[in-house]
């Protein structure tokens, strides 16, 4: 979905906060992928997208358990 400036200007504050949340989530996701790639680059490991997703999910689950 592509938003124009006019679309954004016509949104109310609740919609803008929701949009901001989506953008923040996307940027955080991209940052975590970039960090993971940097870490794997040191190991010289190549993974398929499915393997990569599984590995990241396992790491996230492990971090959540450690925080609990």
Lowest mean pLDDT among 37-41, 53-57, 60-64: 37-41
Q: What is the pTM of this model?
A: 0.52
Token pair recorded at residue 14? 């609740």
Query: pLDDT band at residue 22, thresholds of 50, 70 and 90?
Result: very high
Considering only CA atoms, give the Rg of the chain: 17
Q: What are phi and psi of 2, to 5 degrees?
A: -105, 130
Average model confidence (pLDDT) across the chain: 85
Alpha helices in 1-68 (DSSP H): 5-9, 13-43, 49-67
Token pair recorded at residue 35? 């960090």
């Amino acid at each position: 979905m592509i938003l124009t400036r006019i679309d954004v200007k016509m949104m109310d504050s609740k919609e803008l906060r929701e949009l901001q949340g989506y953008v923040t989530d996307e940027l955080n996701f991209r940052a975590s992928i970039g960090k993971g790639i940097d870490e794997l680059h040191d190991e010289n490991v190549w993974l398929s997208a499915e393997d990569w997703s599984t590995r990241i999910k396992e790491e996230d689950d492990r971090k959540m358990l450690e925080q609990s």
